[in-house]
Each structure stands twice: as structure tokens, then as C-alpha cells.
Chain A
Amino acid sequence: MDEITLLRRLREDRNPTDESVTRGRAALFNKINAVAPKERVTTARRRFTLAGLGAAGAFAIVGVLVATNVLGFGGWRGGADAAAAAVLERAAVAAMTFEDAPLAAGQYLRVSSQTVHVTDGQEQNGPVIAFRIKESSELYVPADRSDDWVWVREPISVVDVLTPGGEPMVERFYPSGAQAGDPELLRAPFGSFYGNTAESQWGDFASMPRDPYRLLNHIYLTTIGAGSSPDGEALVFIADTLRQGTAPADLRAALLRAAAMIPGVTITDDQATLDGQTGTAIGRVESENGLRQEIIIDPTSGRLIGEREVAVVAIPESSIAAGDVWRWSSVHTSVVDAAPAGGTPNGASDLAGCVPGERPGEMYCPPEDKK
């Protein structure tokens, strides 16, 4: 290895946190908004709103790299240990066998999900306050996916404040009780909410191979350059996709089998409790960030209970101790005969009278006097 190659390798695995990317983007928008009045063509002050979809970013497809049938590096470097592979295989079989009862016309697949994760905030020059928030939603996927999907997103609520004394600031960020606001009600064909395409929002399921080996390589190519390490990011991609609950059963099975091919995947907790349910946690420690990504599976039925990230080392700035859960998501799917009425493609932005910009996810909103 020559010196330039070695120098290049030293820079690898450095990635900004999602929070810092979001903060940077927000700072840029502040600047953009500050100049906008001088250049405005309409009377409304321009305000830029981003669709608040963390998961969507996970599906940014890396263009031409996503060649199908590529012989890549998945499957060649060992895989999960035998016990973890067995649990994943049972879950894969369960996905194929028990789940996804065919929907009759007019029926919906209802995906109820909850996510609790650590975040932080800061006011002016005040201290950074870490706290945990909960996001929950119910997604109604129609039998014919080109029909209207309905998505009810509950307002974000605060679970607890981790930094001592941070409660007043957090209350200003996320008012509790009656101030919290109403759920956001969205409705759009193909699930193309917030101006996103169905593929960018939920994942391009059609392009994902069902052969686990090819799928894993597809995932490596799709996530190349993202996350802390290729193996870690592949598992995150799998967990993200499973968590959404919208992937068809054959793809879910393939995702679970692909997870069994990722080196370093083991049973990390055989009594993992998540949202009141206990299951087997299968995961991998990401040495770069000290987090362990896990998929949690009901050992009897093979049903996916959810996924979570556990801190394996303390994160003092967020008041997180080693072994604390950094983030968890549970997902539960069922078949229902009806979905709530109402809703628009952009939910709250439509109610606020915003108009879409020229790019997906971009909205121009009237001045916010009433905030």
C-alpha cells in the first residue's frame, strides 16, 4: 500500500451525524430565506419546508451503481454466527408463510409503528439538552398500491429529558398536552407523500433482488459511502426497510436472509424487551460509533417485533450510559377494512396554505404569523 492509498484510508468512516447534516441544512435555509425577500416574485415570504422523513434518506439510490446481478463482496467474507442465522432463517420462513394475507379490494394493510429516540436541542447560546422523543404513526396501504394511501402521523411527544434541568427548554420545543397539536393526516396515491416518489419515500422494492446474496450486494452498492461501515450500514438499511412494514413478504424474507450474511451479526440479547414485547435481538456492534444495531424477532412465531440501537459505550453528552437504548422502533401490521377519511399529499403544509416548489419536498409557505 503506497502512502497516498494509506492516507486515503485514514479519512474513511468519517461521516457527519444526521443531526449535524440537518442543522447545516437549516442554517443554509435561514440564509436563503434571509435573501429571498429582496428577490421575491410573489408577495409571500419564502419559507423552505422539508418533508420530515428521516427514513427517506436511507433510500437515496446511488444511480448507476445499482446494477443488478453484480457479483459484489457480500457473502464472501463469512456471515452471521450460526445461532443468529438460524433465528433469521426462521423469521424469513415466517414472513413467507404466515404474514401478508392477501388484501381484498377495499382492504388496507395497517402498519402501526412507534419510534423512540434520543435527540438534542439548544437555544441561543444555551447548553445542549438531550431528550427522548416518540414518533408514532399509522399507515394504511391499499390493496392496489396505486390507490390512495393514508398516513396518520401523531405529533411528536417528549418521553423524557436526559440532561438535568433541560425540561423548560424541551417544553418550549415540544409543548405537551393540548398544545401538542393534531395528528397530521396525509393521503396520496402510491404513498407519494410530501412530493416524494413512492420509491424515494418507501424504497424501490421492484429493483431489489429477492435472492438474498444479490440483495445484500445491492444493499452494499446502494449504501456505499454512507454510515460508519459498509456492514453496519447494510444492517441499518435492512432494519429501516423492515421497520416501515411496507415491504412485500418475499422481500422481507430476503432481507432477513441477507442480514444472516453480514459478518459480525450475532444474537445480542435473547430477552430483548421492546414496547412491551420480548424477543430475540440479532445485531452487530458498530465499533465506529459504539452503537449496536439490532433486529428483534419473536422467537416462537418468527414475527418481526421491531428494531433498536443500543449504546455499547456511554455517550456522556447525551446522558446515555453503556447499555442504554439509543433508539427503538416497533412495528405491527394488520389487515383492516377501512382507512380514515380525509388527508392531503402534504398534510400540515397543505393546511398552512403552502405551495410546492419545483423540487420534490420543497414547499413555499405563507408568512408564519400565527406560530
Chain B
Amino acid sequence: MSEDSDIIRRSGATPAAFAELYDRYARAVFRYAAGRVGNGHADDIMSETFLVAFERRESFDITIGDARPWLFGIATTLMRKHSRVEAKAWKGLVAHGAAAVPDDAIEAIGSRIDAEFAVKAIAAALRKMPTRDRDALLLYAWADLDYEGVAQALQIPVGTVRSRLNRARRTLRAASHRGSTPDQEVEHGRNNVAAETA
């Protein structure tokens, strides 16, 4: 499979080649956006992201093989104008609670009531979180970028990503474990932060 940067370079002479990037990542961009602004707006974000990316393809740093940070960065910027919608989406998540959690995850959490509590807490924390921290957190958790990727997407140093993510995680953890005993903070998802050492 050719690297994303090859596709973007080829699209200079053969614009249609750019469509391959869409086929690779449109769904991933949608999933990221859908979590933040809902499926309806996510359709638009998905489409717009690639229109903007295509227009700006000359600005892509082709020494970077992976185009995802660049694309998710564009999607993140596009979603800023939907901040009111996003705030509503978090409110919706607070209201719907555990309905958003897949069944097997509920089992892992313990019970529907625990899941309900955890989701509401997370949603409320996300809603109140500063935008810059939330962007970093959701690029990491929902766009599956590593620290380096988040740094490229937001065009900030990787050290800044680290501190934003640490802060965001602390906020989430405090919210979701409020009232529970500290030893429940066992980090089953430790492998999720493997990128920290990258």
C-alpha cells in the first residue's frame, strides 16, 4: 500500500488520485466527528474535511507519511464552528447516559447503573473542559492518533500534547471516580497510553 504522502504528491499532477485518501479515511473522520457533533453534522464534516484538504494539498508536509493527523486537524478546526452543537451533544450524552455504552462494555464496568454514572460523569467533564484540552483528548481517544499525531494535528509541540492530555485525563478520572474508592483506579486501559513513550 502506498504511503499517504505518495498519494498527495501524485494528486498534484493527477488530482483524481486524491480520492484514494477519501476512501482510506472518510469513515474514520466521520466516526471522530460523529462522537462530537452527532451523525447529521458528521456527514458534513467528513465531506468538508476532504474538500479543504484537497484545496490545501500543497501545504501537506510530504516528509510525513501518515495523512491522518493532518486530516483530523482539519476536521477539528471545522468543528469549532459547531461548538454550540457539540455542547448540545455532550448534554445529550449526559441525558442518555448508558444508552450510549455497548452492552459488553456495561458488563465490564459492572452494571448499567455504574455505566450510567460513568458516562454522565465523562460527558459532563468533557462539556466543561477547555476546548484545547478536549481537542487533544478526543484526537487521542477517538481519532486514534498517538501523541506525535495529536501534536501534528493541532500544530503544537508534543510536550504540550502531553500536558494537555494529562490534565484532561485527570479531569475525567476525577469525574468518573468521584465517590468511589481510590483502588478502583486500576488502569486496565494502560496499554492505551503506550504512545506516551513514543
Residues of chain A at the chain B interface (Cβ within 8 Å) = 1-16, 20-21, 23-25, 27-29, 31-32, 35-36, 39, 46, 48, 63, 225, 357-359, 362, 364
Contact = CB atoms under 8 A, between A and B. Distances in A.
Nearest to A77: B104
Contacts of A11: 31-32, 34-35, 141-142
- In order of increasing CB-CB distance, the 7 nearest A-B pairs are A5-B189, A24-B47, A2-B189, A14-B34, A3-B172, A11-B35, A16-B30
B173 A15 contact: no
Contacts of B70: none
B26 A29 contact: no
Given A1-B188, A39-B15, A8 B1 contact: no
A35 B122 CA distance: 44
B16 interface: yes
B101 interface: yes
B26 A21 contact: yes
Interface of B: 1, 13-20, 22-23, 26-27, 30-32, 34-35, 39, 42-43, 46-47, 50-51, 54-55, 93, 100-102, 105, 108-109, 118-119, 122, 137, 140-142, 169, 172-173, 175-176, 185-190, 192-193
A363 to B, nearest CB: 10
Contact of A24 (B26, B105, B141): B26
Give the one of A1, A20, A46, A63 with max B CB within 10 A. Answer: A1
A36 to B, nearest CB: 6
Contacts of B30: 14-16, 20-21
A4 B193 contact: yes
Nearest to A3: B172
Nearest to B191: A5
A367 to B, nearest CB: 16
Contacts of B141: 4, 7-8, 11
A222 to B, nearest CB: 15
A191 to B, nearest CB: 22
